[in-house]
Amino acid sequence: MRTHLIAATFLGVIAGCAGMTCDSNKKESIVRMNEGIEFAKSRAWGQAEKELEAATTLNPDNHQAAYALGQVYADQKKWEKAIDAFSLAVKGSPQDAMYRYKLGQSLFEGDKMEPAKKEFDKALSINKRLFKAHWYNGRILENLGQLKEAASAWSEAAKLNPAFGKPFIDLGRRRSPCSRRARNTRVTPRTSRTSTTTSAWPTTGSSSTTRQPTPT
């Protein structure tokens, strides 16, 4: 599974700020954001939270800091706080498909199925290749009893990334004899949900890469 890291993206933000008029709060927000990212890369979550929260307070329009803060919360499974942070990121950049996807993922993990589905749909309207958004949609649709639609979502996820095994497992589960006998039983959102999220931060010593449009 690909690791997507946003630290390299922020280097351009710093360079860009030098060529324009930036007030002291915006400059300080960028500094605190990058410090928070460095702490996150070494899993120093408390310090990462402190710096990234300060960055978003200094400049609420710094959607990249809000996204990074959401990642830190998500890595600790602090879903309500992750939802707030990713919502701020989406507010700052509504057309960023990854922001939408991560907000949907946090809503899903927080058992907020309807708003999660809306965010996944919005993310897919921007980038239809977000295979995990299709997979999550399948899980939500299954829970709603819309089994044909769920299978279609899983099939699309499998087609987009054959190396991603979860949709194949779900498709096989729905096609099994036991599943057909239990066709009228809805699946709760937390069934078979083992580690659906992965860390966005590299281990110490790994190389930094630009944030990729592939979800984790």
- Pair 100, 190 in one domain: yes
Q: Is the dihedral of CA 161, 1, 78, 87 positive or negative?
A: negative
How far apart, in whole angstroms, are the C-alpha atoms of residue 26 and residue 56? 10
Pair 64, 148 in one domain = no
* Residues belonging to the chain: 216
pLDDT of residue 23: 85
d(CA 169, CA 23): 52
CA dist 59 and 42 (Å) reads: 25
Residue 54 belongs to what domain range? 1-93
Q: Are residues 1 and 57 in the same domain?
A: yes
pLDDT for the residue numbered 17: 52
pLDDT computed for residue 195 by the predictor: 46
Supply the pLDDT for residue 175. Answer: 76
Q: Is residue 136 part of a domain?
A: yes
DSSP labels, 102-141:
HHHHHHHHTT-HHHHHHHHHHHHHH-TT-HHHHHHHHHHH
Handedness of CA 17, 23, 25, 31 (dihedral sign): positive
**Spatial distance between the Cα atoms of 139 and 135, rounded to a whole number of angstroms:** 7
Intra-chain end-to-end CA distance of the chain, in Å: 7
The 8-class DSSP code of residue 4 comes to: -
**Nearest of 12, 72, 81 to residue 38 by alpha carbon:** 72
102 and 66 in contact (C-beta within 8 Å)? no
The number of domains in the chain is 2
Residues 85 and 115 placed together within one structural domain of the fold: no
CATH no. for residue 4? Answer: 1.25.40.10
Torsion of CA 199, 75, 210, 31, to 10 degrees: -150
Give residue 199's pLDDT.
66
What SS3 class is residue 128?
coil
Residues 179 and 101 in one domain: yes
Q: Is residue 69 part of a domain?
A: yes
Whole-number Å distance between alpha carbons of 99 and 6? 12
Count CB-CB contacts under 10 A for residue 78: 18
Tokens of residue 35, six digits: 């410090």
Alpha carbon 105 to its chain's center? 5
Provide the pLDDT for residue 207. Answer: 34
79 and 156, same domain (yes or no): no
Q: Which parts of the chain sit beneath pLDDT 50?
A: 1-16, 18-21, 182-185, 187-195, 202-215
Same domain? 100 vs 162? yes
pLDDT in tens, 142-178: 999 999 999 999 999 999 999 999 999 999 987 765 5
* Cβ pair 75, 91 in contact under 8 A: no
